[in-house]
Amino acid sequence: MAAGTDHIAFSYAELGVLLHTFRRLKAAGIEPYWCINHGPNTSLYYKDPDGNRVELQVDNMPSALADAWMRSGEFAANPIGVIFDPEDLVARYEAGEPIETLTARPPLPTGMGPFDMLRF
């Protein structure tokens, strides 16, 4: 209920660079508080000591496809995304899993709805 900045986002060119950044920050003791595949992008959210939020993200699809996806029933059914374990994503990436499957948004966990995916 106040004016201000919600968060600042930085986009990476590819998933591997985002995951390398995750590993580098984790080694320095900096861990994300929210890791979510929104569908059009995969995001890692961090908070600084003052509570300012920073999103590090990579696009999962070209802008034209993202626009069509946002108008789809999939977005309407879950406008938030699906949380994920970044260590699991790193392991799958390092094992050579195709980028298309790594960035595809998984279904919601059984018994959970979109708003169960929120983290503050």
Q: pLDDT tens digits for 6-48?
A: 889 999 999 999 999 999 999 999 999 999 999 999 999 999 8
Q: pLDDT tens digits for 106-116?
A: 999 999 999 99
pTM of the predicted protein model: 0.92
Q: What is the mean pLDDT of residues 98-119?
A: 95
CA distance 37 to 57: 9
**Mean pLDDT value across the chain:** 94
Which of the following CATH numbers is that of domain 7-107: 1.10.510.10, 3.40.50.720, 3.10.310.10, 3.30.720.110? 3.30.720.110
Q: How far apart are the first and last CA of the chain?
A: 15
Question: How sure is the predictor about 51, in pLDDT bands with cuts at 50, 70 and 90?
Answer: confident
Residue 39: predicted pLDDT: 95
Structure token pair of residue 8: 């600042």
More confident residue, 58 or 63: 58
Residue 13: predicted pLDDT: 96
CA distance 99 to 36: 16
pLDDT at 59 over 70: yes
